Structure 1
């Protein structure tokens, strides 16, 4: 008999922050499988997992969910409801429903089918950071199904606090809240920003947009590679410590490298000039706090005020995102496309990977990579920054505004 929610410790909500994530005797990584416990950057011992755990951000599925969801997202930051209400309007514009949950349902189904087809035939579970189904629910579901060894896959491709370490902290929080720390082992798939499965859908989409704009008579096209802005301090600390990748850290360097690969594979028709810029969107911090720039709307306005040979069209490519969730729909399809129209620029916003067959196949390859303990030199990576490591280093992706919280899939700081 399956326990009710009230009989499942920590179920049905976002768990409190964990105060500890103990390691097994002789281990350096909390809750890790034997292959990852020692803390080596790349695992070298094959591992049989029981299930894949898809880690989502979460989102409201109706108007009544919007404010509780936003309170979860901003928990501990002291943001009043009046400020959250302004953001809530973006969700209410779409009926109070974020597309992200349906997208994760589709991705879960597609990945499970791909793994059944190509192996290993693992079930795919799904848990969110900020709304139902919560990570605590997913861990209970795994445990009740007899799964004890999980491989977590975050729906975020890059290295930063919010796109990697915070997911690892959430895993520690959920494990502590459920009381399953002695029952479950959880590893996490590496950041996959330059895996071909993630990059190739963007190459295809950008090429299609350039070709379409050229067919409309556009002769000077600017590709705007868009990603979520983050605080400059978090960017500087992104990735493993001790690697000098510039003021934007691993987060900015990884995006620049991916953009370079895409542009190297996109061909322009004769007589058409195409170049690219990395831009940012969706900043949410106070004006006094530096965030990564330029903002996409500012960049579009700057483009429009250029010389006689200024671009006459833009391709907006959201390379920072794996799916068309609300920030893509609102900040790009609504605001950025409107800004382009106001400045007389033809514009196309290309799709994110979503459930593109290459992306789903790439995620399955990442699962096999860990199951096989594939050597680093045989792992798929399209830039010199990859493949990223399996086990995060101490101090990896530090958050400048708060002390370290316990986290899984990395050596405890």
Structure 2
């Protein structure tokens, strides 16, 4: 299939104190989140000068990706559009139309399948296309890459670097905790989010030879009456300390870069929790612009440009589908609280 551009589609983030509240209002529009929670999260951003690192991280990723594509003879202009902040997706698609783009591949900066990490991004594109009209570019999302060798090898390297920081005599007993953004149970029931996360964690732990691992969650934002995925990372850190653990490695496998949920919820809150209970805390790195991760994106592009290119995947489930079925990652928000 012929493609004439690449769109990097992401979440967006504020880049100054005055942008924090409007940005969060965009994020939470239509969701039953108390105003108090919005203001609480706003303080997280103000803790870092009102600047989310995600936009600069996307600029860095795009710069690295342009070099990777050029080096391998792939002539695709790269565009960037966000869901919740500038550059907004609709503005980017309008520019693509003006530039004559007809059919773009889309790389979404979300690894795992869920409504907010997959389907909503496709809905964002459809909404922007409807605003632009019949001349809007067609956009096809690149497949999910949770078990691609490039992602697993990248995260394995990150975890191994953390393991190497622990004295050899304590390394085998170190607790390896993988974290991902919690989502409502009603959302997780209708997608492969948890299954994919567990598979990625298993593949990374096996590659490092460190079998002592668990998957936990962070950054819950819903009302207390709505059940979300658990356990929470800070609760687990307290439990580990109570059980006699000495070292914990926290790997934010659910995030591809060090944005706000990593910098505040892990590097601040989780780290402080570990210090309170006397646990040695090491936060493992994210994929960012590590060369193997950038190479992976290029490989995903190549397999769509040339159907004869092998689709790489590790583990049990094989490569994910190229085109999502109509019921992919549906969200059923109404679910009674257990008990």
TM-score range normalised by the length of the shorter chain: over 0.9
Q: Which residue of 1 aligns with 2:221?
A: 284
Does 2:302 correspond to 1:302? Answer: no
Counterpart CA distance in 2 for 1:316 and 1:82 is 28
Gaps of 5+ in 1: 1-46, 239-249, 269-273, 403-413
Rate the CA distance shift 1:142–1:288 in 2: closer, same or farther, 3 A: same
Counterpart CA distance in 2 for 1:167 and 1:318 is 21
For the residue of structure 2 that corresponds to 1:400, the secondary structure is: coil
Q: Deviations over 1:18-62 (max 9, x none)?
A: xxxxxxxxxxxxxxxxxxxxxxxxxxxxx2211100001000000
Does 2:92 correspond to 1:155? Answer: no
Rate the CA distance shift 1:56–1:354 in 2: closer, same or farther, 3 A: same
Q: Which residue of 1 aligns with 2:326?
A: 394
Counterpart CA distance in 1 for 2:171 and 2:132 is 57
Counterpart CA distance in 2 for 1:150 and 1:219 is 46
Cα deviation, residue 218, structure 1: 5.2
Q: 1:332 aligns with which of 266, 276, 280?
A: 266
Counterpart CA distance in 2 for 1:266 and 1:218 is 12
Cα deviation, residue 83, structure 1: 3.4
Q: Deviations over 1:150-192 (max 9, x none)?
A: 111100011110100010000011111122x344211110111
Counterpart CA distance in 2 for 1:230 and 1:383 is 24
Moved more, 83-92 or 217-226: 217-226
Gaps of 5+ in 2: 335-339
Counterpart CA distance in 2 for 1:218 and 1:113 is 38
Q: 2:197 aligns with which of 255, 258, 264?
A: 255
- Paired residues of 2:148 and 2:313 also in contact (CA < 8 A): yes
For the residue of structure 2 that corresponds to 1:212, the secondary structure is: coil
Does 2:314 correspond to 1:361? Answer: no
User: What is the TM-score when the length of structure 2 is the normalising length?
Assistant: 0.95
Q: How does 1:139-288 map to 2 (within 5 A)?
A: 139-179=93-133, 181-215=134-168, 217=170, 220-238=173-191, 250-267=192-209, 275-288=212-225
Where has structure 1 moved over 3 Å in runs of 4 or more?
Answer: 78-83, 215-219
Cα deviation, residue 97, structure 1: 0.3
- Paired residues of 1:228 and 1:280 also in contact (CA < 8 A): yes
User: What is the TM-score when the length of structure 1 is the normalising length?
Assistant: 0.78
Does 2:35 correspond to 1:115? Answer: no
Cα deviation, residue 311, structure 1: 2.2
Q: Which has the higher helix share?
A: 2
Q: How does 1:24-173 map to 2 (within 5 A)?
A: 47-77=1-31, 79=33, 81-173=35-127
* Alignment size in residue pairs: 334
Q: Deviations over 1:215-271 (max 9, x none)?
A: 585552010000000011111101xxxxxxxxxxx1111111111111111146xxx
- Paired residues of 1:129 and 1:135 also in contact (CA < 8 A): yes
Cα deviation, residue 399, structure 1: 1.0
